[in-house]
Amino acid sequence: MGKKDVIQAEDKDAKKQFLLRLSDSLWKELSAWAQDDFRSINGQIEFLLSECVKKRKKA
């Protein structure tokens, strides 16, 4: 595995950052849900988005 392959593998696994604005009520709901599932809010949002993508691929 060459240096270029290692860099590409690292880029593929890298997390992307972006700004997300949520209403206060949605933030509170997600926060409570995340606590129930022992996740951070970021982890909860990532989990929910991943589940939606999986469902979409099945359809």
Using one digit for the tens of pLDDT, what is the confidence trace for 2-55?
666 666 666 777 888 999 999 999 999 999 999 999 999 999 999 999 999 999
pLDDT at 1: 57
State the Cα–Cα distance between residues 20 and 30, nearest whole angstrom: 13
Q: What is this structure's pTM?
A: 0.72
pLDDT at 12: 72
CB 54 within 8 A of CB 40: no
Residues 22/39/52/16 CA torsion (nearest 10 deg): 70
pLDDT at 59: 86
pLDDT at 11: 72
